[in-house]
Structure 1
């Protein structure tokens, strides 16, 4: 089999260090007894080799036709569990079970988009073990009050417990990226539903961080805060100082403000 060439337009950086691939695979714990794992962007199967040693049933998805052809040759036993497609656009109900975990070396240029898709699938995706740009990994795992803390931190931490596992240097990839990578694990928590309108919660979080330097009183003006709530001390804070529970509280207050305005 001829080797697959990494493609710049797909953001491909193939992992070459087997010990790191093994560590990533071993970090997949099968949370909640889930027995299926989807690997996103397997490339030439360096991580795949170790995921196949895990007890879970493995699925692969890759947008690269060359990788798909290579993977079919390398893993004929996987058959139709090798999926040619873009995870961002793929209807996971087509081939994946009701509950599944995710593993992979995410392309840097679409890693945030993958996480927003995972949020859409949060009631199905029980666990994520992935490698991505270190800055993004740190941001996702960051607690409130940290300069790295942002929109993805809050949204993902609402439904997942997040652990930053380890840092990976550029030299273990082909081609080497210009930055370090980080491996994180997301484990689905027990929250079935937030105590607020979840779509509004997303908008409030994004609105709060849209102008990070502004206080929430100013950042959230477009949401139509009630006169009574405008004096609340939480609005003197900035978005990075609030945790998930605080944003849920803010969303509840905005819901009340809107209800009051509609009544008037």
Structure 2
């Protein structure tokens, strides 16, 4: 069965009485090059185990199964489970895990499914869960790489550099935890139904916490405060985030080597780290 052939997809879904769910952000691939290229980019191969989130009817799952030693595909929509039983019948190294990835015990899942293997993530993520899922995966520290197809604008924000319009608190979070690469774009016509936006494939390569950050909790408190009110200067934005006087905050900003009127969107990880240290010294 060609899981990217639109006529075969429609026949498959019709046999099972399946209806698309907008609330679950379901868009199935209809161009075979897309799952092939995503699987190639994921690093799946001998000695790897791949966690897939939201396999749909399984086109990416099949490609991953051809490369990796093991694939665990987590699917929330129980209406897709009998379909996956059919489409993945020829993939003995795939386990479909029913459930919500946000509620699963990830360490236990990885230990059970990928013992002795290098764990990776590869997924076509529903747009509406991108941020919480990536946050969960990065904070877990379980995976050697995370390759996902997401909305292009979100991928651009994740990879954005300081001083650009796309740069924000989530950019800093992702770049703190991982190297970020926007690999290629996927147009709407590659999906059924076609979404209204272009997708992009993003690879995150987790790394050790930056050595310049000495207090992670305070670092991210500064980051959130800085971007909480983007139109304000860093000084004014931080006034509502920390119980320090404006004079004290101004002194911290200057001691960190930053202009008094700088805005948070201009700061990179090292600058945020210096500022967090200065604020900590007065807190």
Instruction: Say yes or no: TM over 0.5.
Output: yes
Does the 8 Å contact 2:180/2:203 carry over to 1?
A: yes
Residue equivalent to 1:86: 100
Structure 1: unaligned runs, 5 residues or longer = 259-264
Residue equivalent to 1:109: 128
Residue equivalent to 1:10: 24
Compared CA separation, residues 38 and 145, structure 1 to 2 (3 A): same
Deviation at 1:2, TM superposition (A): 3.4
Alignment of 1:31-46 (within 5 A): 35-46=48-59
Residue 96 (1) aligns with residue 110 (2): yes
Does the 8 Å contact 2:214/2:273 carry over to 1?
A: yes
Q: TM-score, normalised by structure 2?
A: 0.83
Residue equivalent to 1:229: 252
Distance 1:175 1:41 in 2: 16
Distance 1:68 1:200 in 2: 43
What is the alpha-carbon root mean square deviation over aligned residues? 2.3
Equivalent residue pairs, number: 256
Distance 1:124 1:146 in 2: 31
> Equivalent of 2:234, from 216, 219, 242?
216
Structure label with greater radius of gyration: 2
Distance 1:30 1:187 in 2: 14
Residue equivalent to 2:268: 243
SS at match of 1:255: helix
SS at match of 1:182: strand
Does the 8 Å contact 2:72/2:96 carry over to 1?
A: yes
SS at match of 1:149: coil
Distance 1:188 1:120 in 2: 9
Does the 8 Å contact 1:63/1:86 carry over to 2?
A: yes
> Equivalent of 2:60, from 34, 47, 52?
47
Residue 147 (1) aligns with residue 165 (2): yes
Q: 4+ residue runs of structure 1 moved beyond 6 angstroms?
A: none
Residue 252 (1) aligns with residue 277 (2): yes
Distance 2:180 2:47 in 1: 18
Q: TM-score, normalised by structure 1?
A: 0.88
SS at match of 2:123: strand
Residue equivalent to 1:19: 33
Deviation at 1:15, TM superposition (A): 1.4
Deviation at 1:64, TM superposition (A): 0.5
Does the 8 Å contact 1:34/1:101 carry over to 2?
A: no
